[in-house]
């Protein structure tokens, strides 16, 4: 196919990467991730998740109408863990879904956007309290897209936002309700969240990889 | 993707990506309001220079579910009938602001020519002459892989008028690209000479005139439409004889193993290439194919139009 872009779609998909919603003039795509420092380990993440679960329960006086929806990709695992913590603490099963927001992004025309997972929302969200879960909150554009996407699955009574890392640099009036850790960063840095913790670093271009 | 012209120009990874994106659109289709804002404000022109119902309706539905605006025209009742050249028509559509031209044309290669002329408008081939019909092949691949699993090592039998069929050419390329071994069964007069060259690694293609033998080891049978309008060319002695030797008759259906899927691109000539009982049999995936068509075309439109106005030369030519 007459398509020079297809070969570079993997690195270009910065938004779905662990850095959160990268966008704006310098999406740090391509190259390799070089870790600089670890800011949380796996146990820290588990403790933060558990503390946020308690906050969700406190704020909503239980979990009776709570549905957790993780934002693919980084928020999917966090959503599962948050829902598991809620279920364990309250002793009832909390429904959990996963949302891929590709079709609702505001930059579809500007770069190559490819959905990485099939959206799975287990219940009609009308009347529910939806807790959106994401690993890294950055520009807020992914969350904006998620709010639009949620609308197509019903009309929730309220939507709350839980993030493991808030790294700042918001481009939209969006703020989280539950935060694992506030992490001041430079815009060009990368934040990677994995099962073993949170690492801050940067993308370093590989010689010869740069395109004209 | 800048354009979707044919399967010939795709790699296996491209096909698999389109099929995976179609999974996401299948989820959208299952919703009570099956619509997403992905292509809001984009204009898709459906230029059908040759008759079509299902492909056109399928593309139009796909475009509308992506929130794109659609403009539809056919060669009759437009300036084409006044003698305007294809190039002038295409440049006019581009100047009007068409972001995408979905084109069906009786001349093989017309979409390639259009893609060369158009700088800002992407081209999606909806069938050109006896050459390619890539979205049909993609929706068939989606239907088969989602029902039967990966095609690697599967034996698929394509039966019918291969010589005049763009569906056969695209499907042989797509099925073999995904690893299937294809047997094309047809009367000699309806076989194409260069059929071996249609296959893509890692699959293979061979020809036969013995349908019963081919069906004995088949995982799926794909019946092509007998092009009745070509009957005057006397390529088969009679339709009854054709049905007897190359149709999926009641007798063949009864002998067909339970696991064998039956496909047909439509429109069907019931009683010619396919018995009515076969079309309505539980093994028939014919209506699933039609459903798949919308999801796969949504994926194709989304992937061709997405990134079209890239700021950093992402999709630069």
Whether A134 is in a domain gets the answer yes
The reported pLDDT for the residue numbered B312 is 47
Task: Report CA A131 to chain centroid distance, whole Å.
Answer: 12
Whether A199 is in a domain gets the answer no
> Checking DSSP bridges between strand B181-185 and strand B220-223, what pairing results, if any?
unpaired
Q: Which residues of B touch A145 (CB under 8 A)?
A: none
Order of strands across the sheet that contains A189-194: A32-41, A197-204, A189-194
> Quick one: B128 and B261 in the same domain?
no
Q: Which residues of B touch A12 (CB under 8 A)?
A: 314
B193 inside 8 A of chain A by CB: no
pLDDT band of A208, cuts 50, 70, 90: low
Residues in chain B predicted with pLDDT less than 50, given as ranges, are 312-317
For A187, residues 6+ apart whose C-beta sits below 8 A from its C-beta are A24, A26, A169
Separation between Cα atoms, residue B243 and residue B175, nearest integer Å? 25
Whether A14 is in a domain gets the answer no
- Residue A2: how many other CB atoms lie within 10 Å: 16
Count structural domains, chain B. 2
pLDDT band of A31, cuts 50, 70, 90: confident
Residue B9, min C-alpha distance to chain A (Å): 4
| pLDDT tens-place string over residues B213-242 | 999 999 999 999 998 776 667 788 888 999
> Quick one: B102 and B172 in the same domain?
no
The reported pLDDT for the residue numbered A207 is 72
Q: Which residues pair with B254 in a beta bridge?
A: none
CA torsion through residues A43, A48, A53, A58, sign: positive
Token reading at A7: 């070969």
The reported pLDDT for the residue numbered B74 is 80
Q: Which residues of B touch A103 (CB under 8 A)?
A: 24, 28, 36-38, 66, 302
CB nearest A118 (choices: B1, B27, B38) = B27
> Quick one: B102 and B175 in the same domain?
no
B24 inside 8 A of chain A by CB: yes
Whether A53 is in a domain gets the answer yes
> Quick one: B20 and B73 in the same domain?
yes
The reported pLDDT for the residue numbered B140 is 98
pLDDT band of A6, cuts 50, 70, 90: very low
> Quick one: B279 and B138 in the same domain?
yes
> Quick one: B109 and B147 in the same domain?
no
Whether B317 is in a domain gets the answer no
Whether A20 is in a domain gets the answer no
The label of the residue with tokens 């390639």 reads B112
pLDDT at A29 over 90: no
Whether B1 is in a domain gets the answer no
Separation between Cα atoms, residue B166 and residue B164, nearest integer Å? 7
The reported pLDDT for the residue numbered B131 is 95
A205: left (phi > 0), else alpha (psi -120 to 50), else beta?
Answer: beta
Question: Which run of H or E residues covers position A199?
Answer: strand A197-204
Token reading at B243: 């049905």
A5 inside 8 A of chain B by CB: yes
> Quick one: B116 and B18 in the same domain?
yes
ipTM of the complex: 0.86
Token reading at A51: 């503390």
Greater pLDDT, B52 or A212:
B52
The number of residues in chain B equals 317
Count structural domains, chain A. 1
Token reading at A196: 């073993």
The reported pLDDT for the residue numbered B234 is 76
pLDDT band of A212, cuts 50, 70, 90: very low
pLDDT at A211 over 60: no
The label of the residue with tokens 């995982």 reads B219
The nearest alpha carbon in chain A to B122 belongs to: A2
Whether A63 is in a domain gets the answer yes
Report chain A's C-alpha Rg in angstroms. 17
pLDDT at A120 over 70: yes
The reported pLDDT for the residue numbered B308 is 74
> Quick one: B197 and B128 in the same domain?
no
Structural domain that includes position B166:
134-289
Does residue A193 contact residue A136 with C-beta atoms inside 8 Å?
yes
Whether A184 is in a domain gets the answer yes
The reported pLDDT for the residue numbered A72 is 94
pLDDT at A109 over 80: yes
List the one residue out of B3, B136, B68 whose CA is nearest residue A103. Answer: B68
Separation between Cα atoms, residue A75 and residue B202, nearest integer Å? 37
> Quick one: B117 and B33 in the same domain?
yes
Domain of B139: which CATH number?
Answer: 3.40.50.1370
pTM, rounded to two decimals: 0.89
Structural domain that includes position A155:
40-188
pLDDT at A209 over 70: no
pLDDT at A74 over 50: yes
- Residue A164: how many other CB atoms lie within 10 Å: 31
List the one residue out of A128, A146, A13 whose CA is nearest residue A71. Answer: A146
A6 inside 8 A of chain B by CB: yes
> Quick one: B25 and B59 in the same domain?
yes
The nearest alpha carbon in chain B to A120 belongs to: B27
B183: left (phi > 0), else alpha (psi -120 to 50), else beta?
Answer: beta
Does residue A67 contact residue A127 with C-beta atoms inside 8 Å?
no
Whether B310 is in a domain gets the answer no
The b/e string for B36-57 (b: 16+ C-beta within 10 A; e otherwise) is: bbbbeebbbbbbbbbebeebbe
> Checking DSSP bridges between strand A96-99 and strand A66-71, what pairing results, if any?
parallel
Separation between Cα atoms, residue B216 and residue B279, nearest integer Å? 19
The reported pLDDT for the residue numbered B236 is 84
List the one residue out of B149, B150, B186, B154 whose CA is nearest residue B169. Answer: B186
Token reading at B175: 């099925």
The reported pLDDT for the residue numbered B310 is 64
Does residue A144 contact residue A129 with C-beta atoms inside 8 Å?
no
| pLDDT tens-place string over residues A171-181 | 999 999 999 99
Domain of A74: which CATH number?
Answer: 3.40.50.2020
Whether B314 is in a domain gets the answer no
The nearest alpha carbon in chain B to A108 belongs to: B306
Separation between Cα atoms, residue B270 and residue B226, nearest integer Å? 10
Residue B267, min C-alpha distance to chain A (Å): 29
Q: Which residues of B touch A119 (CB under 8 A)?
A: 24, 27-28
Mean pLDDT, chain A, as a whole number?
86
Q: Which residues of B touch A109 (CB under 8 A)?
A: 42, 305-309
Backbone dihedral angles phi then psi of residue A56, each to the nearest 5 degrees: -60, -45
pLDDT band of A94, cuts 50, 70, 90: very high
The reported pLDDT for the residue numbered B51 is 85
List the one residue out of A185, A143, A180, A181 whose CA is nearest residue A168. Answer: A185
Q: What is the DSSP string of B72-140?
A: EEESTTSGGGGT--HHHHHHHHHHHT-SEEEEEESSTTHHHHHHHH-SSSEEEEEEETTTB-HHHHHHH
Question: Which run of H or E residues covers position A150?
Answer: helix A141-151
Whether A9 is in a domain gets the answer no
The reported pLDDT for the residue numbered A111 is 87
Q: Which residues of A touch B298 (CB under 8 A)?
A: none
The mean pLDDT value for A192-209 works out to 85
> Quick one: B232 and B164 in the same domain?
yes
> Checking DSSP bridges between strand A32-41 and strand A197-204, what pairing results, if any?
antiparallel
């Amino acid at each position: 196919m007459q398509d020079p872009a297809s070969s570079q779609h993997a690195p270009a998909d910065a938004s779905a990467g662990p850095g959160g919603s990268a966008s704006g003039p310098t999406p740090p795509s391509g190259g390799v991730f070089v870790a600089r420092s670890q800011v949380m380990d796996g146990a820290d993440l588990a403790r933060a998740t558990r503390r946020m679960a308690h906050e969700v329960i406190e704020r909503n006086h239980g979990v009776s109408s709570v549905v957790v929806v993780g934002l693919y990709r980084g928020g999917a695992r966090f959503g599962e863990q948050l829902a598991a913590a809620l279920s364990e603490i309250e002793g009832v099963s909390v429904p959990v879904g996963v949302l891929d927001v590709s079709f609702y992004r505001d930059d579809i025309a500007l770069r190559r956007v490819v959905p990485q997972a099939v959206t799975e929302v287990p219940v009609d969200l009308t009347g529910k309290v939806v807790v959106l879960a994401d690993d890294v909150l950055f520009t807020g554009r992914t969350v904006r897209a998620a709010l639009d996407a949620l609308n197509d699955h019903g009309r929730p009574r309220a939507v709350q936002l839980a993030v493991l890392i808030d790294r700042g640099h918001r481009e939209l009036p969006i703020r989280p309700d539950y935060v694992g850790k506030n992490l001041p960063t430079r815009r060009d840095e990368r934040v990677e969240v994995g099962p073993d913790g949170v690492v801050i670093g940067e993308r370093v271009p590989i010689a010869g990889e740069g395109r004209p | 993707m800048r354009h979707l012209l044919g399967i010939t120009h795709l790699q296996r990874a491209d096909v698999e990506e389109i099929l995976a994106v179609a999974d996401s659109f299948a989820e959208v289709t299952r919703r009570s309001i099956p619509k997403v804002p992905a292509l809001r404000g984009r204009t898709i022109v459906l230029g059908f220079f040759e008759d079509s119902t299902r492909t056109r309706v399928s593309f139009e539905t796909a475009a509308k579910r992506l929130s794109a605006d659609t403009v539809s025209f056919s060669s009759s009742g437009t300036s084409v009938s006044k003698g305007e050249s294809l190039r002038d028509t295409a440049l006019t559509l581009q100047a009007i602001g068409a972001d995408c031209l979905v084109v069906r044309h009786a001349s093989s290669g017309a979409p390639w020519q259009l893609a060369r002329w158009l700088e800002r408008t992407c081209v999606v081939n909806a069938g050109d002459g006896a050459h390619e019909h890539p979205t049909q092949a993609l929706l068939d691949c989606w239907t088969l892989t989602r029902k039967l699993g990966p095609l690697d090592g599967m034996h698929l039998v394509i039966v019918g008028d291969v010589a005049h069929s763009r569906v056969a050419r695209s499907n042989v390329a797509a099925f073999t690209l995904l690893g299937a071994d294809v047997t094309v069964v047809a009367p000699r007069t309806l076989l194409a000479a260069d059929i071996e060259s249609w296959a893509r690694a890692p699959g293979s293609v061979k020809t036969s005139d013995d349908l019963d033998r081919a069906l004995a080891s088949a995982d799926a049978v794909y019946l092509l439409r007998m092009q009745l309008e070509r009957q005057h060319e006397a390529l088969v002695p009679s339709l009854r004889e054709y049905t007897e030797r190359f149709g999926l008759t009641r007798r063949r259906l009864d002998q067909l193993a339970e696991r064998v899927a039956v496909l047909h691109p439509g429109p069907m000539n019931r009683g010619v290439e396919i018995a009515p009982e076969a079309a309505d049999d539980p093994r028939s995936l014919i209506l699933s194919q039609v459903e798949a068509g919308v999801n796969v075309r949504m994926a194709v439109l989304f992937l061709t139009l997405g990134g079209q106005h890239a700021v950093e030369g992402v999709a630069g030519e």
